[in-house]
Amino acid sequence: MKVLAKIVVSSLIAFGVSQAAMAQTDKPADKVLVTEAFHSLLYLPVYVAKHEGIFRKYHIDVPVVRSAGSGPTALASVLAGEAQFSVHGPEHVGFAQERGGKAKAVSAVANSAPVWILARKDVAYEKPSDMKGRKITVGLAPGTSNTLLKKFLIANQLKDKADVTVTEVQNGSELGPVLAGQSDFSVAYQPQVEQGIAQGMKVVHAFTAEYPEYAFSTINTSQQLIDKNPALVGRFVQAINDSLKFMHANPDKAKAVARKEFASLDGAVVNAAVQRMLDSNVYPANVQITEKAFKTAIDMQKFVGNIKTDMHYADIVQGTFTQSVVAAK
C-alpha cells in the first residue's frame, strides 16, 4: 500500500507541476496561507517566491505570510485547517505527531546551522583553546545557538565556569555585552552577525561549516492536504525549489526582497547577511531534505533534551515531493 501511495502521489505531483506550466487562466489560483514561526531572514526563499511571482507561476496565490510567534503555533494553524503550509524546524512535526497531529515536512528552506561565533576585534583567536579564561555571551537555552555552543565547548574540552564563563541573554541581544566590553565572544544568528561586524567585531567560527547539512527550517503541511490535494503540495514545493535557484542565480534580486521584508534594518547589513547565507548553504541549492540533514537536526534536539524518543525520517518527512522536483531538473 505504501508503494502504491507513493506512485499515486508522484503521478499527481507531476500532473500538478505540468498543469502549472500551462498558466491555468480558466480558474482562480489556489489561495494559500503560510504561517511562519517568526519573521526571519532564514525564510527568505518563501518571501522571494512571493515577491518575484514564482508562486503565481504555479497558480498559487499567497496574499500574506503570517508570523505565528513559534513553530508549534504555526503548525497548529495548519493542523486546524486555517493555513495550508508552515515554516519552522521539522522537529515540531514530530512533536505534533506524538500528540496525534498528522503532518509532514515536505521541503527544505534553511539548511546548515545558521549560527556564528564573533569576537571583539582586540581578542586574539586562532583555535578554540584561545577561549580559555574568556567570557561568552549566547541566547537562552534550549535555543539552537545555545545548544551548538554547548557541543562546541564539549568537543574542545572547555568547561563552563572552569575554563570559560558563559552568560545567557535574551535572543537578539547577544552582541550588547561584547560591544560594551563586558564579554569577549558572542554566539549569534543573522542579521546580528553582520550588525556585529559593522561595529568592529569579527567572525571566528562558523557552525555552517561544522554542520553543512542540517534541516534547520522546513516547509510543512498536513497529511490531510497531502491526501486531498497532492498536486497543490507538489506545485508549492516546486515554487520553493525555483525560488532557491533564483536566489543563487540572482543574489542582488534576493537581497532586494530581503531589504523590502526587513525595511527597518540597515540595507548593507541585510545584503551581507543574505550573501553569507547563500555562500554557506543556509539557503540550499534545492528543496531536498536529506536523511543526514534530518538526523543532524533531530540529534541536536536530543542532545538538549527536547526529544526523548526516536524520530524517524520516513515518519516525519514526505520525500516524494522533493524527489519528484529534483529528479525533474
Tell me, what's the pLDDT at 18? 52
> What is the average per-residue pLDDT within 89-117?
96
Nearest to 136 by CA among 174, 167, 175: 167
Q: Which long-range contacts (CB under 8 A, 24 or more apart) does 255-258 make?
A: 257/44, 257/47, 257/48, 257/51, 257/52, 258/41, 258/44, 258/47
| Confidence band of 327 (pLDDT split at 50, 70, 90) | confident
Tell me, what's the pLDDT at 21? 46
196, three cell numbers: 556585529
Return d(Cα 223, Cα 284) in angstroms, integer. 25
Tell me, what's the pLDDT at 324? 87
Q: Are 184 and 123 in contact (CB under 8 A)?
A: yes
| Confidence band of 72 (pLDDT split at 50, 70, 90) | very high
pLDDT surpassing 60 at residue 2: no
Q: Across-strand partners of 67?
A: 36
> What is the average per-residue pLDDT within 33-49?
98
DSSP 212: S
pLDDT surpassing 60 at residue 14: no
Q: Are 77 and 35 in contact (CB under 8 A)?
A: yes
Q: Are 220 and 105 in contact (CB under 8 A)?
A: yes
Q: Are 35 and 86 in contact (CB under 8 A)?
A: yes
- All structural domains of the chain, each given as residue ranges with its CATH number in brackets, are 2-111+213-328 (3.40.190.10), 116-210 (3.40.190.10)
Return d(Cα 47, Cα 51) in angstroms, integer. 6
> What is the average per-residue pLDDT within 290-296?
97
Greater pLDDT, 13 or 97: 97
Q: Are 207 and 74 in contact (CB under 8 A)?
A: no
Sequence-ordered alpha helix ranges (H) in the chain? 2-20, 44-51, 54-57, 71-79, 91-98, 144-155, 175-179, 192-198, 207-210, 223-228, 230-249, 251-261, 267-279, 291-304, 313-316, 320-328
pTM of the model: 0.92
Residue where the block lists cell 514545493: 237
The answer for residues whose C-beta is within 8 angstroms of residue 154's C-beta and 6 or more apart is none
Tell me, what's the pLDDT at 27? 83
170, three cell numbers: 535574551
Tell me, what's the pLDDT at 182? 97
- In one letter, which amino acid is 54? I
**191 prior amide bond cis, ω within 30:** yes
pLDDT surpassing 50 at residue 323: yes
Greater pLDDT, 14 or 287: 287
